[in-house]
Amino acid sequence: MNQAIERVARALQRAERILIITGAGLSADSGLPTYRGLGGLYNGKTAEGLPIEEALSGPMLRRDPALCWKYLAELGKACLSAQPNAGHQAIADLQRIKPACWVLTQNIDSYHRRAGSPAERLIEIHGELEPLYCQSCGAQSDELTAHLQRPLPPKCARCGGVLRPPVVLFEEMLPEQAIDQLYAELRKGFDVVLSVGTTASFPYIVEPLLRTRAAGGFTAEINPSRTEFSQAVDVHLQGRALDILPQLLGHIRGDKSLQ
């Protein structure tokens, strides 16, 4: 493992343009349940007998906002009760060392921002949980925590409309600005792409890895178990992002105590 970590660290050290793709596994190290798998926030069906994809969908928010918000509130409470971990911090530190290091995250918990990742190099492809905004008049509310203690769904103080978070629900389109930003950077090319804690096979997750490797760049994955990416990357680092990312950063900084 040490040799593999050193290999990834050397690639990061030499690189100028870096993309770090993060998924639920990174935030799982903060105690936040992953969407799927062991300890997942949702497995099977909801108490109402619905697939969670239906309960947490755009059409459900319009048809039965109280039901949709029942599960949005679970997500919100889980995210607010945990904190960024050493993995998020290591990524933010790497971005300070490498001014052309970008983060593409599927997570909606805002932990990257809270750890210090610069907003101008952070692409939150699935949105975030706050600030809430009114679907009727567009007014914003920064009171997510307070709303989660009140009857659901949360209502707009100005017009009484239903509030929602700027998150991508099932059956909704990805934010156009985020997609445009990702592909604008991808066209410039990356020297290194590092996948952290994700098993997703969405094109916007897979394409940066495949395109970068095809162009002669370096690709790596950090995940406790092997995934469908593992055969397609140069190095698979098996373990928790919480443990491995600080080790990588230590090598890059030349901290011999971590070698």
Q: What is the pLDDT of residues 51-68, one digit of tens each?
A: 888 999 999 999 999 999
> Is 126 in the active site?
yes
Q: In CATH, what is the architecture of 36-81+130-164?
A: 2-Layer Sandwich (3.30)
- Residue 150 burial (C-beta neighbours within 10 Å; 0-12, 13-18, 19+): exposed
Residues 210/184, Cβ–Cβ less than 8 Å: no
pLDDT at 255: 54
Query: Are the C-beta atoms of residues 73 and 164 closer than 8 Å to each other?
Result: no
pLDDT for 228 equals 84
pLDDT at 47 over 70: yes
Which residue, 75, 55, 41, 44, is CA-closest to 171?
55
Q: 46 or 16, which is more confident? A: 16
Task: For the chain, give the mean pLDDT.
Answer: 91
The topology under which CATH files domain 1-32+84-128+173-259 is: Rossmann fold (3.40.50)
What burial class does residue 145 get, using C-beta atoms within 10 Å of its C-beta: 0-12 exposed, 13-18 middle, 19+ buried? Answer: exposed
Alpha helices in the chain (DSSP H): 2-14, 24-28, 52-55, 58-63, 65-81, 86-97, 111-115, 144-147, 176-188, 203-214, 241-253
In the predicted model, is pLDDT for residue 136 greater than 60? yes
CATH 3.30.1600.10 domain locations along the chain: 36-81+130-164
CA distances from 162 to 85, 118, 122, 152 (A): 33, 31, 28, 9
* pTM across the whole model: 0.92
**DSSP type of residue 32:** P
| DSSP alpha helix (H) spans, 167-235 | 176-188, 203-214
Which residues make up the CATH 3.40.50.1220 domain(s) of the chain? 1-32+84-128+173-259
Residue 244's pLDDT band, with cuts at 50, 70 and 90, is: very high
User: pLDDT tens-digit profile of 95-118?
Assistant: 999 999 999 999 999 999 999 999
Marked catalytic residue, from 88, 112, 126, 251: 126
**What pLDDT digit, counting tens, does each position of 193-214 carry?**
999 999 878 899 999 999 999 9
